[in-house]
Amino acid sequence: MTIASAAIDVKKGFPNLDAGTPGDVPDIDALAINTVRTLSMDGVQAANSGHPGTPMALAPVAYALWQRVLNFDPADPRWPGRDRFVLSNGHASMLLYSMLHLSGTQAIDKDLKPTGKPAVALDDLKGFRQMHTRCPGHPEHGWTAGVETTTGPLGQGLANSVGMAMAQKWLAATYDRPGFELFKYRVYAICGDGCMMEGISGEAGSLAGHLKLDNLVWIYDNNHITIEGKTDLAYNDDAAVRYLGYGWNVLRVGDANDLDAMERALRTAEATRGRPTMIIVDSHIGWGSPGRQDTKEAHGEPLGDEEIRKTKRIYGWPEDAKFLVPEGVRERFAQGVGARGAQASAAWKKLFDAYAAKFPKEAAELRCIFAGTLPTGWDKALTAFPADVKGMGSRVSGGKVLNAIAQGVPWMVGGSADLAPSTKTLLTFEGAKESFQSATPGGRNLHFGIREHAMGAVCNGLALSGLRAYGSGFLIFSDYMRGSMRLSSIMELPVMFIFTHDSIGVGEDGPTHQPVEQVPGLRAIPGVCVFRPGDANEVAECYRAAMQFHGPSIMALSRQDLPTLDRAKFGAASDCARGAYVLSEAQGGSPQAILIATGSEIHLALAAQAQLAQEGVRARVVSMPCWELFERQDEAYRDQVLPPTVRARTAVEMAADFGWGRWVGLDGTTVCMRSFGASAPAKQVIEHFGFTPAKVVEAVKASMARVAKAGAR
């Protein structure tokens, strides 16, 4: 059953619901598919920007999925039991926006409740890629209802879908009960050649195959076109063989226009057990008929008015009509995805009400998961650490704190990129020791393998499903995850990225493993909180603040031991929630200088403070574990911690000094890294690069001299 020849005779008007065309495709289905195509080309043309070809080619694929298979309720797009649809090749966003518009998907309010207004109105389609429209250039989660994740960077959506599929398995294993199958939804993702080329898709696909995620379906648009032209310029992988090697079920649909073949493939995927499914679909970009190809799509350009008229002529469409939705099309969607979704969501809600009556504790937890809130008393197991001169590495105290928090948040799951013994992120308490594997999908310890990029995006997928996710590794390898962390921030997801081995204190592993520019670089990502705590109690308070932050957080933790400070003598660690605080006040009067430090360097600053005191210099020590939280404080508090009148300031951090000028000012100095590290025992490396009390004292005096010189002018 194909639609290639299903042109509409405009002289006779658009067909009614009962008419048919050659190929046994009801005219109304052909009409609906061509509506998706024409809306897509009109939106791109109006914007004079975007990619029209892929939405046009994939319109029948998306239509077959949404109309015949997908369990999605347009009247309640956040219904927890819904199937998830991810458009990984986000440049084809007009495809998704057209489907959301035609299906009548409703907008949602801040409480995730439907508003009765359209998520994508026709005016939004007309304003594609313009300011304030609900149709930005690439789909954005939280901006447009029905968009499950923010996509654009190719391959990210695929890895997100793996996290979503893992979340479904975990939720079902944890909360389903006999007679109460709440979580049996499936995850569908459409991708293209670009997604396949990106390494993240291979990482994610390999993990999905290992975990036997049979609730996951990737639909691969095999159209052989990327921006530079034909894919054979750089790519000739046999994706079918590759994914069979990953343990996937691989199916093929030879013509994207064949709705029945597409449905058969989707039904086969539904029936497959123990393997995720990839459906390879052969399409011809930019046209509804095989053999025609739009070369402009290779450059991501609008078709142009004349080309659009020619294309609409092929579809039997009024050539000069723009953003036309013929009578009967919206009704057709209502009969398909709308009716099926409404019935499924109503049945699910009725089942959940019965579940809540029988399992009130579990239902209360699920309501928190759906709402993205923390349970009452989530941090009750979090206790203070006693003073200890030897102390422990902040990765060690971090592991203890993580376990304490996870006891109070039963849906907290996470793991590492094969580094849990080093990052100390394994959950070890009773009831959480089990690993997430195909046979034990309720395990809370995830094993991502050495796949940092996929780990970040999978954590985003878990968070998009309501779970509190964390991923861990060495700070130096955060570079492999930056794209995923950036998207986590754009979506404001409460993912926790836990990094250890945070400085040149790593020692013998040398400059390849000693992070220098990573912390300053991560601070540059808008909407992220980067925490670098300096002792066990700062670790606890930074974790507490991170759990309550509306967005992703990054922990930078030490391998080397750090003394646990006596808080009876020093500032309260609870002030970490404000980003920076006075750790140790100057003795004998107002401070003449301020030392600002993070992480392990707060102890170096305290040693320098003591030495300066012996020389008659009054210095205050400020611990600044989180720049971003300090920036959010009111001016009065910031001035209280860093008085504007005290211009002699020195920052101490074993990282590049990028950004410290904001806090130390023109007269300030920094004791930071200005090169890569070196391979030697940690103590030797630290001393070699000038992280000693004497060097810090020297820097403080240099800042004081600058202030004095400026005052004398």
Task: Tell me the C-alpha distance between 75 and 336, whole Å.
Answer: 13
Neighbours of 505 (CB within 10 A): 23
Do residues 447 and 465 make contact, with C-beta atoms less than 8 angstroms apart? no
Distance between CA atoms of residues 332 and 28, nearest Å:
7
How far is it, in rounded angstroms, from Cα 216 to Cα 659?
Answer: 43
Between CA 556 and CA 590 the distance in angstroms is 32
Annotated active-site residue in 140, 148, 362, 452 = 452
| C-alpha pair distances (Å), 628 with each of 454, 484, 517, 579, 650 | 26, 20, 17, 7, 19
Whether residue 601 lies in the annotated active site: no
Stated length of the chain: 713
Rounded to whole angstroms, the Cα distance separating 425 from 474 reads 12
Least Cα distance to 125 among 43, 184, 70, 199 occurs for 43
Contact present, 230 and 295 (Cβ < 8 Å): no
CA angle 684, 685, 687 (to 5 degrees): 65
Residue 649 dihedral angles phi and psi, to the nearest 5°: -135, 145
Burial string for 660-698 (b: 16+ CB within 10 Å, else e) reads: beebbbebbbbbbbeeebeeeebeebbeebebbbebbbe
- Which residues touch 274 (CB under 8 Å, ≥6 apart)? 212, 214, 438
> Rounded to an integer, what distance in angstroms lies between the CA atom of residue 706 and that of residue 613?
20
Burial annotation 484-498 (CB, 10 A radius, 16+ → b, else e): bbbbbbbbebbbbbb
Cα–Cα distance for residue pair 45/277, rounded to 1 Å = 35
Q: Is 650 in contact with 598 (CB distance < 8 Å)? A: no
Per the DSSP assignment, residues forming a β-bridge with 73 are none
Cα–Cα distance, 617 to 169 (Å, whole number): 61
Catalytic residues: 452
